[in-house]
Chains A and B, each alone.
Chain A
């Protein structure tokens, strides 16, 4: 039984198709990240789920319950969906405890129960003792945790996070990601996490939904997304690497294909039923290796980026100088590089379609 079902959601703002035929099923307790560039519609999707925007087409269901579509629109105040806003949305005129207890006061919880729930939520996010502070007296990370505690206290079964780390500095982000993982364990809620940062999305989510131009391009586990992107948009947006045009010359039953690329033939992975002909090949850094001249194709080194133990090499194949390939080598070998290297494809992925 899916906790959240989006069925062919559509939403226009003027001439902009903010959401175009978006369908998604999220299992109970699952953590799904929605990843996409800014303006791709991912925040609108979140606002449709929360009820702040009304979809033009399609339906939203929480379990069996229809909350949007078919003439129904349950207002946000009746959806019982938790949301962590990018700005945290803590009321400046209320203390930390009042902020956290607000959803419970709205539901007229008895005073003693309310205090207990608030204390438990505060303790869970490590802010015991901060109950009487004002939001203005807290740091960004602490505000974030109060916003989480508010969702925890209201015991929402679905919690939406709208770029929750966008306003935090880099060091704090890793800590807050751990905090969100802990929140998930404690609340057992279904989490939808919207971000434009792929490292956040790939690092924490069970599944990642890649969105662009109002459409969902691929929904898959992080590793699958990285190894087998469904189209060029996904392969460019997720992870480093390059997309090159080649030709599938032969297909094998075991999910591999032979492709002609940069003047040679290589064996790479492919989807079952991949047809022969022109295709896009996704090449990740680890799919490339530096080899002897007779085993690979020549490429012009464009940039050498030192990154500690590893060094990233960017090189353009002599046959296709407009394509930039990236590979990562041990820094100890980087000094011996000439202006031209010879590269071989040890792996790769034929982008379907």
Chain B
């Protein structure tokens, strides 16, 4: 009876039914309809089944090369993410390594910071124009190719970005690990390392595999990193191919890019379904009541482990962003950073003087705030009405809400164009080439980020609190407003902040949906970098990082009152 509001066959009533129907329709419109429309455009462009477009896309050598590149960098990135994420999860959950909170916070940063910002930071760290390397005289010769351009650099950065995803999955698996199994191995005389190999890792294997699949899907859909490190080197993956086709030829090639998107979606869907299968395969017998992981003393190795961790964080996180900051502080590329040359002029320029960047900050902040507020408002009643439904209904709605978030952003963007290109019925105008199409796409893409914290929080609430309100005569709307909302508020707000953070830094969707006047921060960052204005790009990127960091710290203030697992960087 502790499964919270999810009571079997709990009775639902009038107001609740109406609300549930409306919310379901909304989720369907935001998530299911666009993706169905995309599939239809790809295989039945004129209302009739016609595989010609899809087939012609599959016959193109450029497509095959891009698909092969996509899979190669995704596998490379996944392998690195798997190694980093699993090792870190083992270290944090099983040992007494110091300052775990700070370590986890830093480890999660690459996932929170936009990939294009990370890419820019690394471009600024190495490369002939590196302000930082020039300051110490280590920069490559001018004119030499950037060492990170191409498949290797892309896979490396994808691996660093996706490592937190693997970490989260493995840590969740380790937390479900029954302590008595580990203790039984200990009393059998096994040493910690043997226990890890023979007990912990085999039991955590489904979680490790699930993390790998999620990282793989994340790698496939990433746009920022291959856009910054691939396009200048002529290295194309599916995502950048779709972007280039659409940017180059406009909406005339919609059927073709829809077919490309479908191909990409199918690769991602394969990973998602495999992930779902692995999650179900998790040994159900391993659900003990006592699940506290052991805390092994690292002994004399503790210092070494801590040094390695912090050195890795220094090289992977601090150094690239120091390089980024250094570039943002010099008046022009090539100027050495010294006390005399340092300037805040670039920041002043992008925030106040340059119309496009000023507009972009305003646009991104409004879009992010709008999406966050709307999604929090929707997700509380949605989560509440879902909680009383059958598990099959909950799972289906959860899957539908997950689709736009898990599928590559490019796929969602193309789907949104297909749905919103023609004038809407009733209102009679098209949302395409306005800022509203981006808002709709964000609502679709980030619904899951707002919904999941609410469902987590509801699961931890005693169902009798809701029943006591019903017994008191309170109907649906009143119960949501006076009982449910106040109790889930901290988690819902934290979810809203996640939405804001992700939407503010978003590039993949808006790169395909923006128009003059509706640029986002991601889009201007991309344009500035392509135009060669490295110092302004660096300044925009630094501001984006500062906003992200500030939001993470602000959300931490809620941490003690949110449901466990809402903020991914909380230990």
Which of A13, A50, A52, A107 is within 8 Å of B473, CB to CB? A107
Which of B11, B464, B470, B471 is within 8 Å of A53, CB to CB? B11
- Once the chains are docked, how many angstroms separate the CA of A258 from the CA of B473? 58
Q: Are A87 and B464 in contact (CB under 8 A)?
A: yes
Which of B7, B9, B471 is within 8 Å of A50, CB to CB? B471
Q: Are B462 and A89 in contact (CB under 8 A)?
A: yes
B554 CB-CB contact with A under 8 Å:
no
- Once the chains are docked, how many angstroms separate the CA of A92 from the CA of B469? 13
Q: State which of A69-77, A245-253, A304-312 sits at the interface with chain B.
A: A69-77
- Once the chains are docked, how many angstroms separate the CA of A338 from the CA of B330? 103
Q: Which of A128-182 contact B (CB under 8 A)?
A: 150, 154
Contact flags A78-99 to B (C-beta < 8 A → 1, else 0)? 1111110111011111000000
Q: Which of A265-283 contact B (CB under 8 A)?
A: none
Q: Are B472 and A51 in contact (CB under 8 A)?
A: no
Which of A51, A53, A79, A85 is within 8 Å of B9, CB to CB? A53
Which of A90, A92, A106 is within 8 Å of B474, CB to CB? A106
Q: Are A91 and B472 in contact (CB under 8 A)?
A: no
- Once the chains are docked, how many angstroms separate the CA of A216 from the CA of B266? 57
A53 contact set on B, CB distance < 8 A: 9-11
B315 CB-CB contact with A under 8 Å:
no
Contact flags B459-472 to A (C-beta < 8 A → 1, else 0)? 00010110111111
A: interface residue count bin: 20 to 34
Given A52-B11, A75-B13, A106-B478: A82 in contact with B487 (beta carbons within 8 A): no
Which residue of the partner chain A has the closest CB to B466? A89
- Once the chains are docked, how many angstroms separate the CA of A87 from the CA of B464? 7
Given A77-B473, A102-B472: A89 in contact with B9 (beta carbons within 8 A): no
A229 contact set on B, CB distance < 8 A: none
Q: Are B487 and A93 in contact (CB under 8 A)?
A: yes
Contact flags A55-79 to B (C-beta < 8 A → 1, else 0)? 0000000000000000001011111
Contact flags B1-44 to A (C-beta < 8 A → 1, else 0)? 00000011111010000000000000000000000000000000
Contact flags A92-117 to B (C-beta < 8 A → 1, else 0)? 11000000001100110000000000
A79 contact set on B, CB distance < 8 A: 471
Which of B13, B462, B482 is within 8 Å of A87, CB to CB? B462
Residue among A75, A90, A92 with max Cβ neighbours from chain B (10 Å): A75
Which residue of the partner chain B has the closest CB to A98? B482
Q: Are A83 and B487 in contact (CB under 8 A)?
A: no
Return A127 CB to nearest CB of chain B, in Å.
18
A54 CB-CB contact with B under 8 Å:
yes
Return A292 CB to nearest CB of chain B, in Å.
55
Q: Are A75 and B470 in contact (CB under 8 A)?
A: yes
Q: Are B475 and A77 in contact (CB under 8 A)?
A: yes
Q: Are B473 and A78 in contact (CB under 8 A)?
A: yes
- Once the chains are docked, how many angstroms separate the CA of A344 from the CA of B18? 70
Which of A75, A89, A93, A107 is within 8 Å of B11, CB to CB? A75
B462 contact set on A, CB distance < 8 A: 87, 89
Which of B11, B13, B468 is within 8 Å of A83, CB to CB? B468
Q: Are B473 and A80 in contact (CB under 8 A)?
A: yes
Given A73-B11, A106-B478: A150 in contact with B472 (beta carbons within 8 A): yes
Return A101 CB to nearest CB of chain B, in Å.
10
- Once the chains are docked, how many angstroms separate the CA of A93 from the CA of B482? 9
Which residue of the partner chain B has the closest CB to A104? B472
Which residue of the partner chain A has the closest CB to B8? A13
B472 contact set on A, CB distance < 8 A: 77, 102-103, 106, 150, 154
Return A94 CB to nearest CB of chain B, in Å.
8
Return B411 CB to nearest CB of chain A, in Å.
40
Which of B8, B9, B474 is within 8 Å of A77, CB to CB? B474
Given A52-B11, A54-B11: A76 in contact with B486 (beta carbons within 8 A): no
- Once the chains are docked, how many angstroms separate the CA of A69 from the CA of B344? 75
Which residue of the partner chain A has the closest CB to B472? A103
B335 CB-CB contact with A under 8 Å:
no
B465 contact set on A, CB distance < 8 A: 89-91
A54 contact set on B, CB distance < 8 A: 9, 11
- Once the chains are docked, how many angstroms separate the CA of A79 from the CA of B462? 22
B483 CB-CB contact with A under 8 Å:
yes
Q: Are A86 and B464 in contact (CB under 8 A)?
A: yes
Return B389 CB to nearest CB of chain A, in Å.
15
Q: Are B483 and A76 in contact (CB under 8 A)?
A: no
- Once the chains are docked, how many angstroms separate the CA of A54 from the CA of B13? 12
Q: Are A76 and B9 in contact (CB under 8 A)?
A: no
Q: Which of B430-486 contact A (CB under 8 A)?
A: 462, 464-465, 467-475, 478, 482-483, 486
Lowest 5 A-B CB distances belong to which pairs?
A103-B472, A89-B468, A89-B464, A85-B464, A76-B470
What residues of chain B have their CB less than 8 Å away from a CB belonging to chain A?
7-11, 13, 462, 464-465, 467-475, 478, 482-483, 486-487
**Given A13-B9, A91-B468, A106-B478, 20 other A-B residues pairs in contact with their CB atoms under 8 A:** A13-B8, A51-B11, A51-B470, A52-B7, A53-B11, A75-B11, A76-B11, A76-B467, A76-B470, A77-B471, A77-B474, A78-B473, A85-B464, A87-B464, A91-B487, A92-B487, A103-B473, A106-B474, A150-B472, A154-B472
- What are 17 contact pairs spanning A and B, CB under 8 A? A52-B7, A52-B10, A52-B467, A53-B10, A75-B13, A77-B472, A77-B473, A77-B474, A89-B462, A90-B465, A91-B469, A91-B487, A102-B472, A102-B482, A106-B473, A106-B478, A154-B472
